[in-house]
């Protein structure tokens, strides 16, 4: 079958677009009739082109991709108008049996969360072989060889070993590479990548984006990149479509869009993007020490053998020391698995630790239940996923007042009045006190979590990836809110993130973590203006720049296997060093 031949044998003109969307309308059935989700959307995509569809959550980006793939959930959501042509093949009227033959073969999709797209009970190899044999008449051995080649193409180390592993045994970045390998194993004409890097660390994001660019160049694949990250758009796309409320508000080349955005919505999106170097200068914070960590170690035991004895430890945090001052934003940055969140849990007493942790001059070690409860009045947490942090059965007013109830602060009337005041502080109307979390947007739910964290007037708030999942405009509003609350109440923040651009904009001091250890610590100006450690430079170099004219230096890449944090009892590295071996590569050595 040729590149422009459909399954009935019709052939498109040689210069025709690979994909043509004309007047696409998608609607959902409600009690009051059909509600439009995508309205009159038209665009084309040519071979070797990368088209970005940008916009905030709810703009219709993902619904568009599902409509193209024929994956809308029936019968509630369906295409109600327009045309989608893959070469000469009209997709909107194609029976499911024929559409299934095209998916993966001529048009493929990479989803945002690979763990939900991969079968947890099948090995990576079994899933790749199944995908290949479903579309091509090849034997198992040939399909397996092609699967290994696909894993090599996406630069996965030890592809033969990866074939035998299950999805849960791989990191998030590795799983995303498996999804890309699966999508590209059959060399589709069109690849739709729906937020493929949103949940990934900045360095893994860089590797995935570089991979997509290489595959586009080497295979001529046409790519639709769906994202709300305008930095990714600037670096990757040839053309951009900006969507809002299911409709296109602007289409332009990437250079024109960033230089001369026509729509106000586009200008607002670009203005909200955090940019490296844009953080306002801040005076040095010299307040009292709120939290102090000295030589903190956290290790988790692993059991094995017939008797279930502890034979190994996960070295999650290794000899970490730092202080947090009143009114300061202390940022803890690094990739997933480096120990950032484990440190946060140790500070609030949720995981056992060695070493010494003090909050407000009081040591955590040896505290009884009453002491732990008193500690939590001084330290509160705001988590990444507000929906998971809020009880869906409780009203927002009850959720905000819950800390007051637990600690016996005030009467019921005073607790409700405090909740209403906190709602106003975070920019929400008190009318929402009797509503439930699902009735709020993601950004509003995060504001509810912040209001609840403020209920007991804490000295320290730990914000653990609290803005990572938010759209850029919502993220900007939440960050402005945190700054305003800090100035008003003198709160200290432990800001945990892997987003270096956000950290550079909000932090006073920064600690960089790698494999459970702090490899660099200094003021924001020191760490970002003159990074001393190769790993810090790697993190900074990997940040997407929202400027298509920016010439990005080659990122430092890790060579070889990342050292494992799992070690036999009584053993473990004192330190992990990253050594620059030239050619833009770093190797890790345990010493």
pLDDT at position 297 is: 93
pLDDT value, residue 508: 94
440-444 contacts at long range (C-beta below 8 A, 24 or more positions apart) = 440/396, 441/474, 442/57, 442/386, 442/387, 442/469, 442/470, 442/471, 442/474, 443/470, 443/471, 443/474, 443/477, 443/478
Range 249-255 contact pairs with CB under 8 angstroms and sequence separation of 24 or more: 251/43, 254/52, 254/548, 255/548, 255/549
319-369 pLDDT tens trace: 999 999 999 999 999 887 788 989 999 998 889 999 999 998 889 888 888
Superfamily of domain covering 19-272: P-loop containing nucleotide triphosphate hydrolases (3.40.50.300)
Model confidence over 387-443: pLDDT tens digits?
888 999 999 999 999 999 999 999 999 999 999 999 988 888 888 899 999 888 777
Identify the segments of the chain with pLDDT beneath 70: 1-15, 115, 171-173, 198-199, 278-281, 469, 552-564, 566-568, 570-591
pLDDT at site 182: 86
Q: Where are the domains of the chain?
A: 19-272, 386-458
| pLDDT the model gives residue 447 | 87
pLDDT at 577: 61
Looking at residue 7, its pLDDT comes to 45
CB 234 within 8 A of CB 209: no
Question: Left if phi > 0, otherwise alpha if psi is -120 to 50, otherwise beta: which for 153?
Answer: alpha
Q: Give CA–CA dist 233/239, Å, rounded.
A: 9
Alpha carbon distance 364, 351 (integer Å): 11
What's the confidence (pLDDT) of residue 553?
A: 64
- Exposure b/e, 5-26, CB count within 10 A at least 16 = b: ebeeeeebeeebbbbbbeebbb
Residue 8 has what pLDDT? Answer: 45
Asked if the peptide bond before residue 232 counts as cis, ω within 30 degrees of 0, the response is: no
What value does the CA radius of gyration of the chain take, rounded to a whole number of Å? 26
245-277 burial: b if 16+ Cβ within 10 Å, else e: ebebbbbbebeebbeebeeebbeebbebbbebe
CA distance 247 to 40: 7
């Amino acid at each position: 079958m040729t590149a422009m031949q459909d399954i009935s044998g019709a052939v498109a003109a040689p210069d025709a677009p690979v994909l043509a969307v004309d007047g696409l309308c998608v609607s959902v059935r409600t009690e009051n009739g059909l509600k439009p989700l995508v309205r009159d959307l038209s665009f084309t995509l040519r071979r070797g082109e990368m088209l970005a569809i940008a916009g905030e959550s709810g703009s219709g980006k993902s619904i568009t991709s599902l409509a193209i793939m024929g994956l809308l959930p029936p019968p509630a959501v369906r295409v109600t108008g327009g045309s989608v042509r893959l070469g000469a093949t009209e997709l909107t009227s194609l029976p499911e049996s024929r559409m299934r033959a095209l998916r993966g073969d001529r048009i493929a999709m990479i989803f945002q969360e690979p763990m939900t797209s991969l079968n947890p009970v099948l090995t990576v190899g079994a899933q790749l072989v199944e995908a290949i044999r479903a579309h091509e008449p090849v034997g198992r051995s040939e399909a397996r060889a092609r699967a290994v080649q696909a894993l090599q193409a996406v630069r996965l180390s030890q592809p033969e070993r990866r074939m035998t592993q299950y999805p849960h045994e791989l990191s998030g970045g590795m799983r995303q590479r498996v999804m890309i390998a699966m999508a590209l194993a059959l060399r589709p004409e069109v690849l739709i990548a729906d937020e493929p890097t949103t949940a990934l660390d900045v360095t893994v994001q860089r590797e995935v984006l570089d991979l997509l660019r290489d595959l586009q160049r080497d295979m001529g694949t046409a790519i639709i990149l769906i994202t709300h990250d305008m930095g990714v758009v600037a670096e990757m796309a040839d053309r951009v479509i900006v969507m809002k409320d299911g409709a296109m508000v602007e289409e332009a080349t990437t250079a024109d869009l960033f230089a001369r955005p026509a729509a106000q919505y586009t200008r607002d999106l670009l203005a909200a993007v955090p940019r490296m170097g844009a953080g306002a200068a801040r005076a040095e914070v010299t307040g009292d020490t709120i939290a102090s960590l000295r030589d903190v170690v956290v290790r988790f035991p692993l059991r094995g053998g017939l008797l279930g004895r502890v034979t190994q430890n996960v070295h999650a945090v290794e000899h970490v020391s730092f202080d947090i001052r009143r009114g300061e934003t202390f940022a803890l940055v690094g990739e997933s698995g480096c120990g950032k969140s484990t440190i946060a849990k140790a500070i609030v007493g949720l995981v056992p630790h060695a070493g010494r942790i003090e909050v407000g001059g009081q040591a955590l070690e040896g505290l009884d239940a009453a002491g732990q409860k008193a500690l939590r009045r001084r330290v509160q947490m705001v988590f990444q996923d507000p929906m998971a942090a809020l009880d869906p059965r409780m009203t927002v007013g009850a959720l905000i007042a819950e800390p007051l109830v637990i600690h016996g602060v005030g009467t019921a009337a005073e607790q409700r009045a405090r909740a209403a005041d906190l709602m106003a502080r975070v920019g929400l109307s008190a009318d929402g006190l009797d509503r439930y979390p699902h009735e709020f947007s993601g950004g509003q739910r995060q504001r509810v979590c912040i209001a609840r964290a403020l209920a007991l007037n804490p000295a320290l708030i730990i914000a653990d990836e609290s803005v990572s999942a938010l759209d850029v405009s919502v993220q900007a509003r939440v960050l402005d809110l945190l700054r305003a609350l800090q100035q008003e109440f003198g709160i200290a923040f432990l800001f945990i993130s892997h987003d270096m651009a956000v950290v550079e904009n909000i932090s006073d001091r920064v600690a960089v973590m790698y494999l459970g250890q702090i490899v660099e610590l200094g003021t924001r100006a020191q760490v970002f203006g003159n990074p001393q450690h190769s790993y810090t430079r790697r993190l900074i170099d990997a940040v997407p720049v929202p400027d298509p004219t920016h010439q990005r230096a080659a990122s430092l890449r890790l060579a070889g296997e990342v050292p494992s944090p799992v070690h036999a009892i009584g053993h473990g590295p004192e330190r992990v060093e990253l050594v620059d071996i030239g050619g833009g590569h770093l190797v890790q050595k345990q010493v």
